[in-house]
Structure 1
Amino acid sequence: MNITQNQTRPVFPFTAIVGQEEMKLSLVLNVIDPQIGGVMIMGDRGTGKSTTIRAIADLLPEIEVVVDDIFNSHPSDYNLMSDLVKQQIQKGKTISTYFVKVPMIDLPLGATEDRLCGTIDIEKALNQGIKAFEPGLLAKANRGILYVDEVNLLDDHLVDILLDSAASGWNTVEREGISVRHPSRFVLVGSGNPEEGELRPQLLDRFGMHAEIRTVKDPSLRVQIVEQRAKFDQDPYSCIQEFQEKQNQLKSTIILAQDKLSKVNIDYDLKVKISQICGILNVDGLRGDIVTNRAAKAFAAYQNKDEVSLEDIKAVITLCLRHRLRKDPLDTIDSGTKVNQVVNDILN
């Protein structure tokens, strides 16, 4: 295991990242419950967005996948399994598995639809009668994290495909009457700089959470960040070693929260309060209600609790609703003050 780590490029430890609590919390909650629907991270240049996203992927426990399967199929969960693996199981064949790091896939801005979804070799299909599928990034990202930097500059059509796959957990490629469908469950993380343009409200609404990143103003904190980075660049492995214990603790907490999530309850009265807040804020549709319920349960599981409390809702509701308030594409995203105001009125 150590040999593999030494051969790969060292990743800055997640627990060594100073500040940016909104972004860190959003990522952790999406990892605990991927059905929250991903996170959109908007903020200034040079605030460690990419570093933090790579760090959370590196922190996660390894996953068990089926040998020689291009979709990272799960050996027992039907929802995370390709049709080929399902057929092998139904025929009673023994399936070999091995453990890999959680896939962290970058979507480049210039990517085409074929690169994203995959392609079918029509010639092989017609001549040899076999479905020769060349997997795209959605196949490689199954059970992992798909990261789109500068998502606000990505073609709207591709963003639609991404969000549809993230929501349904499946990707279907159809060409000339031939169809291939495969699992595509991933945590979608988008980042961008508001100065370069905003996403349309309809697309923004499809992201589960929205974290705002601001440049740290406190001089002593800035020095701490600079020193931490310099130390890592100088000797990455000793820096990783220094934070190993904290990394292991956080990893254990996340695994525990993932196991506990299904047992966490949220009281009916609290659900009503969440919906009341969404109603007062005039949030379109029910995504805001659903995501806030999910995020509150994930946060409670993260705190190792069986019941969601008012404090859990307060901790996540701004992240879940602030990007759903825009009705006009020319409006700026509310920084959270409007949400906080209503939350305080209802929850206090």
Structure 2
Amino acid sequence: MRVNFPFSAIVGQEAMKRALLISAVDPTIGGVLVFGDRGTGKSTAVRALAQLLPRMKVVAGSAYNIDPAKSDDPDVKTRQMPVPVVDLPLGATEDRVVGALDIEKALTQGERAFQPGLLAQANRGFLYIDEINLLEDHLVDLLLDVAASGENVVEREGLSIRHPARFVLIGSGNPEEGELRPQLLDRFGLSVDVSTPEDVKQRIEVVRRRDAFDRDPEAFVAKWKRKDGAVRREIVGARERLEGLEVPDAVLGQAAELCMALGTDGLRGELTLMRAARAFAALEGDAEVTGDALRFVAPMVLGHRLRRNPLDDSRASVRVERAIEEAMG
């Protein structure tokens, strides 16, 4: 069994870690886009987060990680499994992603059977795409359709298959290698930038911890087990508190004013702001969603939704911070 680096042992990158935790508390937020330098712990953080999440219950024998609570059979057999993290490689074919005819069964048994793809494996888990800005256009279109519907529909070679495909989409990449299509960019709930640490002590600690992990992964994981357990309890507690948290009209008004000031298209910005602020408040153990929660999540919710402004070449983060000060004081 593969041993992943502990989430709590990741040095720095606080914005990225918080964004991932927020998405873990409320998967409907829309996932996380992480842009920045190579070797800054992007893929490490995703796999570490999935490892510390509570195991999920699925229908035994299901190729789609079906939730037993949604089964019509009251006596359905169940099993528990880790939350899946599925990598979507850049060179993947469409058949590999959506699924296709099982050639082996067709040849050996003369049976038309469906071989599930990566979207089936990722249902109720994480779909991770590294270098997402280099993803081929036809796969981008496919992901947009599935992200909008929550279902994967395959109709080809005499097959007609429909199965659930709801996952937290995590994308990472280097902005110097190309931009993301606006349609896909808008589908991400949160976006954060990561960079190589410039503090000498922090760099030394990163190297020290990574070296200790590579030398003896089991011992290193055992050392951080208690802190990872605390993060797990934080997520579980936040999920339980989430439904009882209301977002006051005053905070919704501030969210609307922010989006209007920044000129974001549609209402997805306000909706994501509300959900992200609520999830953040649940993580913090707050009794209600406040303007402070909104202020914290606004840069990661709105930074990637801004239109280009030829009269203002400021960085997106600067424009968002300026709008926050103007709208919220």
Q: What's the TM-score bracket when you normalise by the shorter of the two chains?
A: over 0.9
Matched residue type, 2:287: D
Residue 159 (structure 2) pairs with residue 166 (structure 1)? no
Unaligned runs of 5+ in 2: none
Corresponding residue SS for 1:212: strand
Distance 1:33 1:318 in 2: 18
Residue 312 (structure 2) pairs with residue 312 (structure 1)? no
Counterparts of 1:75-90 in structure 2, within 5 Å, are: 75-76=68-69, 78=70, 86=72, 89=73
Distance 1:44 1:342 in 2: 27
Match of 1:105 in 2: 86
Residue 100 (structure 2) pairs with residue 119 (structure 1)? yes
Distance 1:201 1:98 in 2: 40
In the TM superposition, residue 104 of structure 1 has moved relative to its aligned partner by: 0.8
Match of 1:208 in 2: 189
Distance 1:144 1:250 in 2: 18
Counterparts of 1:226-265 in structure 2, within 5 Å, are: 226-265=207-246
Match of 1:62 in 2: 55
Counterparts of 1:1-12 in structure 2, within 5 Å, are: 8-12=1-5
Matched residue type, 2:145: D
Matched residue type, 1:43: G
Match of 1:4 in 2: none
Match of 1:149 in 2: 130
Match of 1:282 in 2: 263
Distance 1:42 1:55 in 2: 18
Distance 2:308 2:162 in 1: 35
Matched residue type, 1:15: S
Matched residue type, 1:312: A
Distance 2:13 2:314 in 1: 18
In the TM superposition, residue 175 of structure 1 has moved relative to its aligned partner by: 1.9
Match of 2:13 in 1: 20
Match of 1:193 in 2: 174
2:45 counterpart (46, 52, 61): 52
Moved more, 33-42 or 166-175: 166-175
Corresponding residue SS for 1:95: coil
1:116-152 deviation per Cα after TM superposition (whole angstroms, max 9, x unaligned): 1111469989xx9986211010000011111000000
1:249-298 deviation per Cα after TM superposition (whole angstroms, max 9, x unaligned): 11011011112111111101110110111001010111111111110000
Corresponding residue SS for 1:263: coil
2:279 counterpart (298, 305, 310): 298
Matched residue type, 1:221: Q
1:196-217 deviation per Cα after TM superposition (whole angstroms, max 9, x unaligned): 1110222211111111001110
Distance 2:320 2:121 in 1: 37
Match of 1:326 in 2: 307
Distance 1:283 1:51 in 2: 32
Seen in structure 2, the aligned counterparts of structure 1 residues 132 and 327 have a Cα distance that, compared at 3 Å, is: farther
Match of 1:36 in 2: 29
In the TM superposition, residue 50 of structure 1 has moved relative to its aligned partner by: 1.1
Matched residue type, 1:36: I
Corresponding residue SS for 1:271: helix
TM-score (norm 1): 0.88
Whether the 8 Å contact between 1:29 and 1:299 is mirrored in structure 2 is yes
Seen in structure 2, the aligned counterparts of structure 1 residues 308 and 56 have a Cα distance that, compared at 3 Å, is: same
Seen in structure 2, the aligned counterparts of structure 1 residues 30 and 164 have a Cα distance that, compared at 3 Å, is: farther
Match of 1:3 in 2: none
Distance 1:129 1:269 in 2: 63
Whether the 8 Å contact between 1:65 and 1:72 is mirrored in structure 2 is yes
Number of paired residues? 326
Distance 1:333 1:235 in 2: 46
Corresponding residue SS for 1:10: coil
Unaligned runs of 5+ in 1: 1-7, 79-84
Whether the 8 Å contact between 2:246 and 2:288 is mirrored in structure 1 is yes
Distance 1:163 1:231 in 2: 40
TM-score (norm 2): 0.93
Whether the 8 Å contact between 1:115 and 1:136 is mirrored in structure 2 is yes
Distance 1:313 1:319 in 2: 11
1:79-107 deviation per Cα after TM superposition (whole angstroms, max 9, x unaligned): xxxxxx54xx2xx6x21111111111001
In the TM superposition, residue 156 of structure 1 has moved relative to its aligned partner by: 2.1
Residue 127 (structure 2) pairs with residue 134 (structure 1)? no
Distance 2:313 2:271 in 1: 24
Seen in structure 2, the aligned counterparts of structure 1 residues 68 and 339 have a Cα distance that, compared at 3 Å, is: same
Whether the 8 Å contact between 2:101 and 2:157 is mirrored in structure 1 is no
Matched residue type, 1:189: I
- The CA RMSD measured in Å over matched residues stands at 2.3
